[in-house]
Structure 1
Amino acid sequence: MPPPPQPAPPMRSPYRFLLLFLAILPCLRSVDAQSFDYPTAGPSTFWTNNLSLKHNVTYPDGSMVRAILLRSNPAFFGPSFSVGFFCNAACDAFLLAVFIVYTNSGALITNPMIGSPQVVWSANRDRPVRENATLHFTEAGNLVLRDADSTIVWSTNTSGRSVLGMNITASGNLLLFDRKNASIWQSFDHPTDSLVPGQTLREGQRLIANISTTNWTRGQFYLTVLADGLRAFVDSSPPQVYYIHGFSGPEAKNKSAYVTFTNGSLEFFASFTKPGVPDENITLPSASSVQYMRLESDGHLKLYEWGTTGWNVVDDVMKLYPDNCAYPTVCGEYGICSNNGQCSCPSGISNGSNYFRQINDRQPSLGCSPVTPLSCQSLQDHQLLALKDVTYFSSWLAVEYGTYFPSVASFNLKNEESCQQACLKNCSCKAAIFQYGQNTSDGSCFLPSQLFSLMNNQPTVTHQNSTLYVKVQIAPKTTNGTSISPTSKKKVMGVGAILGFTIGALFAVFLIVGLFVLFMRLKNSHMEEEDQFDQVPGMPTRFSFEELKVATENFCKKLGEGGFGSVFEGKLDDMRVAVKRLDGVGQGRKEFLAEVETIGSIHHIYLVRLIGFCAEKSYRLLVYEYMCNGSLDKWIFYRNQDIALDWQTRCRIITHIAKGLSYLHEECRQRIAHLDIKPQNILLDDNFNAKVSDFGLAKMIDRDQSHVMTRMRGTPGYLAPEWLTSRITEKVDIYSFGVVVMEIVCGRKNLDYSQPEESIHLISLLQEKVKEDRLLDLIDNHSNDMHWYREEVIKIMQLAMWCLQIDSNKRPSMSTVVKVLEGAINVETCLDYNFVATTPVMSSNTNHLDASPPQSASLLSGPR
């Protein structure tokens, strides 16, 4: 038997330590990479935003990243793209973001001294989350962000689309992909304020700047691609353009214009080339390291590049002519910018004082404010102040393009006098700007509702063919010599005094007693109401009436009105808001309390956010987030505009409404029935994302209740048949949703008395068309692409018919509706195509005080 093998003698080569190190180096690298360098993740993955995440890194400027996925730099050192939670300063609010971080061998530097993280995309810029928020990559393939209280803040809405995994690419694109590695969803399709090399900005998409470097909420400035060029706007009503770059590049193959950020240029592809526009691709400094560009809060588009000392600005991409004075907010509202960069206020004196004053004497760039605020109650005291040698910030566009581009729209007033008069008659007008044509016999008039920075005429911008008048309020005049003389005044006062004392002696006691009783009742009533509001759970911010009066400029700009009040545009600090004022008392107070209680305690991406309220004496006001595209009805019923929504936008709006209602019905502690779903109560933001609003009629339904008894409420034409019994559930919203879906698809009102008699009631018409198999007759003819998606349109109409079932038990839940819209399940095929109740249903509970008398079917969904 041979002896057992003996161990080899120790290696005594001088290179043994080097060979050993080289042998274990791959193991060390893989351990380091495994600890963080994960560029992909699969479904059923869950992350919590707290210190349990392994990679929490705090930077010298106070910002912090909690990385989830990292695409490490191929060179092992330098900037890399990562996705995770990000915060700055106090770290009391977090973004789910894609950011660029400096890495060392695929892992974040523990104590980075250079190169703070740079956010290039975020999912929830308008709704930051808190500590212990969660990100869930669900088994169904949906990426869902929830706040610490479990409310849904954001989602990719990709459930049921065969998503296999999530990946952060080397170019910084967060994407969800299927088994064929095809993209199902990607962050590049949803830009925020930045572009990275390889990213495309398509026609209709926007880069929207933050309010400030510390406030991520969407601000005033946005950059967008139109069919004939790239334009930058400052948001107002209407938006005002401050930069134009026309397209002269190759035509886009997909017939939709776009811009692509490449190494060394912004490349343009036009849906058509505008004649006479000489602009070409914008040349940029070639990249020697990682680059990105961001639309800043001051309106500049800046190109950043990584250097040895951190991030550096290497180009200001939008070259405005002649200098920074052409930016809308360089000197704030009403501020005049000089060629040396100084800011001043318009000159003009009334009653010994200036019309305008600096908002902050130490910071002139913050702008100016009128000494006497403009009041819509005193139009007779408005006058125009002519400003000599002063033009508007966008005057440089006239020099560059030979025409005036202060806005996407101007008024067709052909002479200067009519322009001035139009401004004086328009309460919201802040200035009259008249641009003469080439022959000086006519021109165009612009009446801005918000006046941004002005600028002095400069030698390079001789704008002699333009005049600018700023509206001011004349200060109240004191009594002068033409007033009533003292002698006459004494005689009048003497006669009045005798008469007053005579009448007063007869009724003084009764008046005093009556006033005392009335005062005590009002006092007790107000105290009870104040106590009510103090007990509202999840109370939002409470404002004083004076604060909201100032914010709305004395309620001068009305956005709309409804059954219980009017809505006005306002501004709180740097945030635009919509202020709803209840015009009446009594019944309206119940609706007000219902709305504060309902929406004040819930939060959802597809519900309009309640910012605060005012309950002071008899004043009742609600402060909402501002939705710049207004209500849905003006976009589908074609009031005052000819733009038809495309089919994809309509589908997105329908889906958002469904998700908002699904949250109300199924995800709150109590079921919440909205009870007034109609296009007027669906609001649209600047990207045509839809949000449900107006909770004044909402009703809470306990989970153990099968139904509730209540008086009839809502809007004729949208009421479900069961309202005839006063026994209702959240299923009445589903019927109303079905009506709204049909209105969106057909582009007309449910009850339209301008139609022939047989077509007045849309749901009755639908009932006839489906039996004749002629549903395509109902499709909105204003939109050409509706017929390109016939199969999808018919499917949505079938979904609407499922929701319109007279028997509420046969209607789907809103969560089921959402699944149909996302393609997870199919529409029920066994449907009753009689959608209109023909026989009133009598209430069986005659003792219920709130129940309304039985109504005819025509007051519900409409006439037979």
Structure 2
Amino acid sequence: MNNHLSLCLRLCIACLWLNVYALTDGMKASQSLRDGETLVSNGGNFELGFFSPGRSKDRYLGIWYKNIPVRTVVWVANRESPIKDSSGLLVINNTSSLVLSNGSNSVVWSTSSARVAQDPFLQLLDLGNLVVRDTKDESADNYLWQSFDYPSDTMMPGMKLGWDLRTRLNRRITAWKSSDDPAPGEFSSGVELDAYPQLVMYRGTREFYRGGPWNGLRFSGALSMKKNPVYEFKFVSNKEEVYYTFQLLNKSVITRLVVNETAMARQRYVWVETEMSWKLYSSVPRDYCDTYSLCGANGLCVISDSPACQCLEGFKPKVDSSWKSMDWSQGCIREEPLDCARKHDFIRISGVKLPDTTHTWVNESMDLKKCKETCLKNCSCMAYSNSDISGRGSGCVLWFEDLIDIRKLSDGGQDIHMRVPSSKQVNRLRLVISVVMVPICVLLLLTCYLFRGRMKGKDKDEGQVGHGAVAEREDLGLPLLDLATVARATGDFSVDNQLGEGGFGPVYKSNFQGVLMDGKDIAVKRLSKSSGQGLDEFKNEVKLIAKLQHRNLVRLLACCIEEDEKILIYEYMCNGSLDSSIFDQSRGSLLDWTQRFNIICGIARGLLYLHQDSRLRIIHRDLKASNVLLDDTLNPKISDFGMARPFGGDQSQAKTRRIVGTYGYMAPEYALYGLFSVKSDVFSFGILLLEIVSGKKNTTRLDNPHNYHSNLIGYVWQMWREGRTLELIDPLLDGALGQHEVMRCIHVGLLCIQQNPDDRPNMSTVVLMLNGESMLPQPKEPAFLIDVIPSACSSSPTNASHSVNDITITMMEGR
């Protein structure tokens, strides 16, 4: 009996000891850490132990936040050598090194120490730093080894990112391969040891984002690094160390900096206790212009311009044809080569991220005047700038080769002075031209405005359709067919030949071969007498589309204006409208991902032509699946231009008193305030893109219990935030998918439907995003538009898919 009591007492003591051991922050050389046991930092912030990431069953030794319910791993020891079972064992060997082995006693990971400790001790600090120290050495930071020197994908407060020049140790953070595999991925971030050190991110061995050099306040291109009450930044550069670090000012905040595997680059997260989730605080790259060397040598990227790239003043595209096709990689060359025998001067480029500092010279004590003189003395010097703007502006940096990776910044940018041939005579000529030409231009604009007003008044006084048909023959620029010919071609508008009906009216297919257009099938669109559209919309569509030529726009062949009839004749699209394919269970399976992606890209190219490359900038205002037609090769063609509006080259936004278009596709600023621009079409394109990927209509109410917004936008946003983006893919797409391509499309779709029009990309950027591999910015919360549209506007079953066809009164506004 006593033996049994003694055994029970020993077991209880053992269990109690194990429980205490699991809560300690360190272990001695005589101890070990097995799978299932953990070390917890003294303050309870972090925990060290074995874990399996995502869906993987492999075991890794790592560190994670102790008190955060969402397990967030910040460091992994054996990233490239997983243990296949729970036999992992961590010990301190006789050289004071850490050794991790598996069940067969094979070493899967180990550290090395520069010296042997008398009494080595492994300790997990409350900063998340795992250290080996000598208990006999009372120096606070005299560590034999520390995990902060060998980071994984996460940078935490107090960690150094950069170089220890004494040991040539380079601390970099590298993304996981995937959420299931912590092995080093292709994205990494670190500090480059140039004459003027800079923060750089890589994809493999290729630079894809550059934060720029440290200018005393921040990295030149990292505007998110502003002074704040949460944490402070520090950059150290001396003979012993070159590194960047940040420290918390508010100790209650939990924040981390991560390089992830999805090409969304480096992101800062903050833990929000009330919501029990990580919230994205900032992200880089921010937008397309952050792509490294997007505009090539001597190019300047301006995100608000279209196209985004332009040559610096005094430069021209190196290959003009490539530049026009938006391939800017070969950059720009000087219009006039520098001649060292001639006098040179400098022009100032303001508010930019400083160029790549790989080929530079720096003097921290030189003022800007001396800096300019030094550059002028060396014919190879291309530009100069301040290296430190934290105080009065001191320090000199000189560039000696092409200027690479410059972008315009909205605020906080720096000035760089670029070398050019002496331009005094040129500047005088420009002054004379401006003095003479500005009044002339103003006079011409005033004349055009008055003439336009007179023409509008003249149009209002013209008669109705009878005489108008004759008057418009030359103005419409299309063949005018008589009603009898059109009626004969459609079997007198027989129901048997009707293809469908939209907001404009019914559409028929010609059954008369040889009657029209060299025997080709045609589609005849007849304005319904009950349609809200009238002669203005009819003329608008004819005038606009007759002058447009693009493979992704439907071709208008002829028209008919006779009696009360208004008829348009189009090329026939044998595969019908896009909505009949993607929203139909039987036909949807016929469109594989390759075809859907080609359709997305085709629509994007068609919109780009309307917005940028056509004679007039045209806003479609009613882009939706039913207004995209598919030809015999499934090439998409945008149709229905009755509500389109042309813009002048200097106009960016217009306002209308009545809203036209289709609810569910309208941008919020248009649906609520009547403001429309090219960004309105971008919003509609984003909705259409997400519909094509998901096979779901935006106007369909979805079962989305965890989110107030139950339409497609809300569903996509929820899946995106939860990292379940692939669940959005149409179940009919069972074949092989390019998941990276699908993810990129969803990402672009979310960028297009952001609430603020200024945040949305223009279509030239969208086309490049869809077909490129460069970094995409993090999308902001989209506009959950359908939740704020009154139900009376969208609930009618007869009009749900039709456009709102009110005639508009439009007022142009500059922005």
TM bucket (normalised to shorter chain) is 0.3 to 0.5
TM-score by length of 2: 0.38
Q: Which has the higher contact order (CA 8 A, sep 6+)?
A: 2
